[in-house]
């Protein structure tokens, strides 16, 4: 270290650069995780039978009912919120203050809090009633699950020969869907995911938006704070590349649609002879055409 950076000024400069890059990465992960936590908080507030069933999939072992499970899950979710908020606070410190005037106490406090909170959440989830063995399904639980399934199945239609609606670049068959996909891309994506039973519309909408936009914004602000032109350009380019990879989120859910509904594979398996990789390529092409909205038209 001393041989590579003989002066204290250079050492402090590269320590600051490393801290800014790590701060950007951790903040990016927190932003990606937070929409799901907000959704779980809403489910905890409503606490309907179907909401409880969904939360148990994330926080309860064997997806079984626990005593006072709402309070236990709320505590875990609160700790995870604290983790994200601590990282946001640390990010503000790194962006708003130079290293010389930055509060070392505040920096260390939020850093430690951001580490302790998720560790405590993991330990609590494992050793509290959430992590204990309970009967997977009780009679009362079966009735609730059946009621949820019956309610959700009322809007489903059985299709004997499912197929993708429209061609790969077909925009004339349904102009309304084309315009909506182009102007309200992420909303259409989230709406289709909820209609097909793949989760909450708002979570999908916000998550896809963040995956495609946040890296560019976050990494370019970080590049301006490291005061190194060459490395700044590299960080900015990395943000653009990560935005492009965010489109793979659409490819992932296209794969899930194909597998869930038994949809046919793309006729031209032209990418490494893999149906899944071809799905990702098709989703990216459609995203470039209309920002991913057309990639998720309802299968029929």
pLDDT tens for 153-168 read 445 555 555 656 655 5
The pLDDT tens digits along the chain (300 residues) read 555 556 777 777 888 888 899 999 999 999 999 999 999 999 999 999 888 988 998 998 887 888 899 999 999 999 999 999 999 999 999 999 988 889 999 999 999 999 999 999 999 999 999 988 776 555 455 455 555 444 444 455 555 556 566 555 566 666 777 777 777 878 888 888 888 888 888 999 999 889 888 999 999 998 888 877 888 888 889 888 888 888 788 777 777 777 777 766 655 455 455 555 665 655 555 555 544 334 444 443
**41, 81 in Cβ contact below 8 A?**
yes
Q: How far apart are CA 20 and CA 94, in angstroms?
A: 7
Give the model's pLDDT for residue 24.
92
pLDDT computed for residue 292 by the predictor:
39
Map tokens 């959440």 to a residue.
Answer: 121
Question: Quick check: helix, strand or coil at residue 170?
Answer: coil
Q: Enter the pTM of the model.
A: 0.75
- Report the 10 Å Cβ neighbour count for 46: 9
pLDDT tens string 172-198: 666 777 777 777 878 888 888 888 888
144, 56 in Cβ contact below 8 A?
no
């Amino acid at each position: 270290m001393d041989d590579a950076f003989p002066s204290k000024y250079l050492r402090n400069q590269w320590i600051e650069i490393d801290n800014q890059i790590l701060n950007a990465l951790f903040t990016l992960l927190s932003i990606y995780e937070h929409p799901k936590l907000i959704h779980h908080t809403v489910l905890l507030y409503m606490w309907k039978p179907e909401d409880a069933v969904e939360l148990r999939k994330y926080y309860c072992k064997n997806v079984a009912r626990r005593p006072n499970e709402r309070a236990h899950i709320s505590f875990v979710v609160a700790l995870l919120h604290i983790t994200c908020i601590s990282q946001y606070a640390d990010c503000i410190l790194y962006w708003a203050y130079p290293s010389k005037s930055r509060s070392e106490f505040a920096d260390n406090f939020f850093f430690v809090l951001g580490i302790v909170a998720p560790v405590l959440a993991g330990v609590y989830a494992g050793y509290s009633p959430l992590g204990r063995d309970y009967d997977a399904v009780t009679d009362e639980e079966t009735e609730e699950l059946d009621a949820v399934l019956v309610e959700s199945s009322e809007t489903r239609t059985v299709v004997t020969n499912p197929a993708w609606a429209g061609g790969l670049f077909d925009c004339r068959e349904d102009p309304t869907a084309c315009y909506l996909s182009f102007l309200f891309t992420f909303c259409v994506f989230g709406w289709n995911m909820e209609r097909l039973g793949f989760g909450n519309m708002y979570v999908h909408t916000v998550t896809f938006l963040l995956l495609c936009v946040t890296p560019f914004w976050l990494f370019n602000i970080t590049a301006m704070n490291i005061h190194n032109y060459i490395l700044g350009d590299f960080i900015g380019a990395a943000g653009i590349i990560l935005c492009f990879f965010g489109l793979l989120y659409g490819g992932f859910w296209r794969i899930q649609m194909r597998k869930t509904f038994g949809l046919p594979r793309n006729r031209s398996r032209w990418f490494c002879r893999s149906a899944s990789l071809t799905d990702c390529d098709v989703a990216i092409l459609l995203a470039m055409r209309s920002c991913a909205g057309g990639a998720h038209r309802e299968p029929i």
